[in-house]
Amino acid sequence: MNAIAASRRALFQGAAALTVAFALRPGAAGAWTTKPVALDECDAYLAIGADGRVTVFVGKVDMGTGIRTGFIQIAAEELDVPMTRVSVVEGDTATTPDQGPTYGSLSIQNGGVALRAAAATARREFLRLASERLGAPAASLRIEDGEIIGGSGRVSYSALVGGRAISLKVDTNAPIKPPEARRIVGRAVPRVDIPSKVFGRFEYVHDFNPPGTLHARAIRPPAMGAVAEAVDEASIRDIPGIVRVLHQRGFVGVVAETEWAAIRAARQLRIRWSDWAGLPDQARIWEHVRATPVAQVQVTSERGDAAAAIAASPKKLAASYDFAIHTHASMGPSCAVAKFDDDGRLTVWSASQATHNLRKQLAMMLAIDVEKVRCIYMEGAGCYGRNGHEDAAADAALLARGQTRPVRVQWMREDEHGWDPKGPPHLVDMRAGLDAQGRVTGWTADAYIPRGAGGNVDLTAAELGGLPRETLMSPGNIVHNLAHGYAMPAVKTVCHRLDTTPFRPSWIRTPGRMQNTFATEAFLDEVIAEAGADPIAYRLGMLPADELRGREVLERVGRLANWQGRPSPQRDRTGDVLRGRGVTYVKYEMVRTYVAAVAEVEVTRSTGAIKVTRFYCTHDCGQMINPDGVKAQIEGNIIHTLSRTLKEELLYDRRTVTSRDWSSYQVITFPEVPEMRIELIDRPTERPWGAGEPAAAVVPSAVSNAIFDATGVRLRSVPFTSAKLLAALRGA
Amino acid sequence: MATNIGFTVNGAARSITVDDAEMPLLYALRNDVGDRSLHYGCGLGQCGACTIHLDGEAVRSCQIPASAAAGKRITTLAGLGTPEAPHPLQAAFIAEQAVQCGYCLNGMIMQSAAFLTKNPRPTETQVKEELVNNICRCGTHPRVVAAVLRAARG
């Protein structure tokens, strides 16, 4: 038995659950466990063990963000137990509530708040039970380390539960601890996973290797839409330990006794592929995007007649902003282990950010009852959106079918860069009119982006193998932040949702919100330059007076960066090395986390080299559970997005992705990381919002604005390569 | 053809039998020795996730045939220190909370550990240059640099 299953089994046996002591063995109708997972039940989220340990069950998963520690803080705080007594089970479809995919910067905002409500409800119930037991009013009792004290003595949570079934609905109005009573939440608590990672003892999904594991590789077509016409199994006969070759249309895979045999076989297997060349010409990608049929026109904000207002204005500006196709480029190529049991039930261990959805997708692909599939989350390398993990799980499930040994699929680097779903090309046309005083009279934004939302991304194995799938297109929720909160007399923002996009799309950190904020905040900078105004002062002048939190992040980032008010660009642009600063602002999705940033850049005119030297950020995500976790997320947002802004671009020919390693798809390196100064604004009485994405939204515009300030040249096409800057400088 | 290869891993003598002596050391260590503190990241020597010390030198185990390690002394992250007796870098990475997903961490620590034996008091710029070929996707860079400098300060 593997370590994870062993520890989980021990956990379950020791758990006198909050309501019922659930068992690991299958219950009626082939269910994996009888543990409740309904979203409105306390015991979907919490179990109190006989030993006083608290187990938290969450559908949201820690993908390297530290959210596990945040969940422990929340439960420990509301239940008044030490953090060391709380453990977390994440994303196991048999035991955790389906709280939706771990995306959208929602894990604390939604998942954490749900857990907090469950814990607060449980705390109130424990106090009520203790009040009866101890013969004292609940208000007179206090809780220390999971024991309720007062009246005639003390009683522990586990004694109160006592194996009884206490059915308890989550009360979202159950009182949570007030800020002054909090001892764990709101503090910079060290992450629980870091020591085991530092000592090389942490078990990633990549390291999961139950006894008898077979190793497999999927062999992807050399052209993305090609089909395997013939597979010559004799071509790998010399490799010892080959167990199986699977060929189904465009899906080919090998299973072997050892990992190296699987790798060798995947390289050596002779396959005759059909030809296919269905990708657009990369050199003309934006023409391709403009020529793509529009499936839906979505107006995301409208006030007045913006087009007429612009037409009647003495000054008019227009510009197009584009953002290249990106790959997730996870550090650890996707990996999964799949195992069928004798009853035809499938267990898949995966780093999927959406195991509950993956379960349904796998059942559909394999045409088996969803009740027969269990997905168990195990952490992988950092995940910033729907990458290849689900696809590796599908590969493993397909290759594991027909026998009962576990099958581990590990993608190779070229699979990860080549076959993870991509952040789609994003194009925005901006127009504005100004009056004689430099005030905006009208503003329009037209984004050309794929249709679809944040649903499931089809599994590659199903697609290549011609197996059942939803045939959805799911680029994520990419329409937000094209509308903005600045006061303008006439505005219209429109998303033209395209019928197709060149690569299977998915969301990558801050999907659409980043690209739309880039266009909005950089074009606004163009408007402000045209008006000859200071970029912070002008923004503040357009933010409504009651947008207090937005005004505060902007004002504070100015102070943080020692901002001197003046128009852009800076005056002396004669030297070879020019310096500039750019400001930017976002209210995430117009409803939550506020971020403002200032980038400082150094541009070398002769080479086109762009160096971001400092990055300042002010951040208000409401209540913070773990301020150091928030800070780490902001650092990650800034660095990851600087990488995307300055360097990253998917390369492809008409057949397939050609940027399939770290030298053809380059990312930020240590010397390129700027000094960062981050100011966190804590609001312990407010609700907690997300921090995993919002700060990423402001990065491309901050850099574009700073380059303009330094050089007087505007970069409107991500990535901002030196070649693009040199061309722009020559054209200026 | 099955080949026996002997080396020491974290001080213990190990002997493995492989079908193909050209198999990268990475797979020998992870699958035959069972040490999963090093990670597969690219198999191309570009990212650093599989870094180990071979006779004290930081090398990328995905680029070295298992046979080339015969008779050599291997140290991995799992053998660098323990919670009871951590290597100064391990203590520093915890103190600086210099981990997000941690998949690259093996490379960060092993590369830095070899570096600090040669340059015990590096400047910030030298640390960044040393780690220029170690990729981190989460954006943990400033904390990694702070941790290496903290370890160097002792």
Sign of the C-alpha dihedral, residues A458, A463, A468, A472?
positive
Distances (CA, A) of A618 to A133, A599, A695: 50, 12, 9
CA distance B131 to chain A (A): 6
Sign of the C-alpha dihedral, residues B34, B40, B45, B51?
negative
Total count of residues recorded for chain A: 732
Say if strands A294-303 and A315-323 run parallel, antiparallel, or are unpaired.
Answer: unpaired
| DSSP letters spanning A417-453 | HHHS-BBPPEEEEEEEEE-TTS-EEEEEEEEEEES--
- A202 contacts in B (CB within 8 Å)? 102
Scanning A421-440 for CB atoms below 8 A from B yields none
Question: Mutation test of the interface with chain A: which of B19, B37, B124, B137, choosing the one with the most A Cβ atoms within 10 A?
Answer: B137
Query: Are B138 and A201 in contact (CB < 8 Å)?
Result: no
Query: Are A671 and B128 in contact (CB < 8 Å)?
Result: yes
With CA atoms as reference, report the closest residue to A649 among A343, A330, A323.
A323
Contact present, A120 and A175 (Cβ < 8 Å): yes
- B49 contacts in A (CB within 8 Å)? 331-332
| DSSP letters spanning A90-156 | ES-TTTS-----S-TT-IIIIIIHHHHHHHHHHHHHHHHHHHHHHTS-GGG-EEETTEEEETTEEEE
Give the pair of three-digit tokens for residue A107. Answer: 């894990």
Query: Are B44 and A413 in contact (CB < 8 Å)?
Result: yes
With CA atoms as reference, report the closest residue to A518 among A383, A294, A707.
A707
For B109, the closest chain A residue by CA position comes to: A198
For B100, the closest chain A residue by CA position comes to: A64
> Chain B within 8 Å of A202 (Cβ-Cβ)?
yes
For B84, the closest chain A residue by CA position comes to: A199
How far, in Å, CA of A589 to CA of A333, rounded?
31
What was the pLDDT predicted at A498?
A: 98
Query: For a pLDDT cut of 90, what percent of chain A falls above it?
Result: 91
CA distance A581 to chain B (A): 21
Q: What is the mean pLDDT of residues A520-540?
A: 98
Q: In the structure, what pLDDT confidence band is assigned to residue A104 with cuts at 50, 70 and 90? A: confident
Contact present, A206 and A332 (Cβ < 8 Å): yes
Q: What is the mean pLDDT of residues B73-95?
A: 98
Give the pair of three-digit tokens for residue A680. Answer: 């966190």
With CA atoms as reference, report the closest residue to A510 among A698, A672, A706.
A698
How far, in Å, CA of A245 to CA of A119, rounded?
50
With a cut of 90, say whether residue A1 has pLDDT above it.
Answer: no
Angle between helices B88-95 and B105-118 (to 10 degrees): 130
What was the pLDDT predicted at A64?
A: 92
Give the pair of three-digit tokens for residue A196. Answer: 């085991």
Contact present, A610 and A601 (Cβ < 8 Å): yes
- The residue among A613 and A38 whose pLDDT is bigger is A613
pLDDT tens figures, A390-424: 999 999 999 999 999 999 999 999 999 999 999 99
Q: What is the 3-state secondary structure (H, E, C) of B7-73?
A: EEECCEEEEEEECCCCCEHHHHHHHHHCCCCCCCCCCCCCCCCCEEEECCEEEEHHHCEHHHHCCCE
Closest in B31, B40, B131 to A670, CB measured: B131
pLDDT tens figures, A127-157: 999 999 999 999 999 999 999 999 889 999 9
Give the CA diameter of chain A: 84
Q: What is the mean pLDDT of residues A542-570?
A: 98
Closest in B46, B76, B145 to A670, CB measured: B145
How far, in Å, CA of A95 to CA of A87, rounded?
14
With a cut of 70, say whether residue A36 has pLDDT above it.
Answer: yes
With CA atoms as reference, report the closest residue to A261 among A280, A296, A237.
A237
How far, in Å, CA of A256 to CA of A571, rounded?
66
Nearest-10 Cα torsion for A8, A379, A680, A71: -20
Q: In the structure, what pLDDT confidence band is assigned to residue A30 with cuts at 50, 70 and 90? A: low
Q: In the structure, what pLDDT confidence band is assigned to residue A450 with cuts at 50, 70 and 90? A: very high
With CA atoms as reference, report the closest residue to A594 among A643, A658, A640, A551.
A551
- A648 contacts in B (CB within 8 Å)? none
**Cα A476–chain centre separation:** 10
What mean pLDDT is reported for chain B? Answer: 97
pLDDT tens figures, A252-306: 999 999 999 999 999 999 999 999 999 999 999 999 999 999 999 999 999 999 9
With a cut of 90, say whether residue A163 has pLDDT above it.
Answer: no
With a cut of 60, say whether residue A562 has pLDDT above it.
Answer: yes
> Prior bond to A280 cis, omega within 30?
no
> Chain B within 8 Å of A210 (Cβ-Cβ)?
no
What mean pLDDT is reported for chain A? Answer: 94
Looking at residue B25, its amino acid is L
CA distance A618 to chain B (A): 18
What was the pLDDT predicted at A165?
A: 64
What was the pLDDT predicted at A551?
A: 98
What was the pLDDT predicted at A20?
A: 34
With a cut of 50, say whether residue A193 has pLDDT above it.
Answer: yes
pTM (predicted TM-score) = 0.96
- B127 contacts in A (CB within 8 Å)? 670
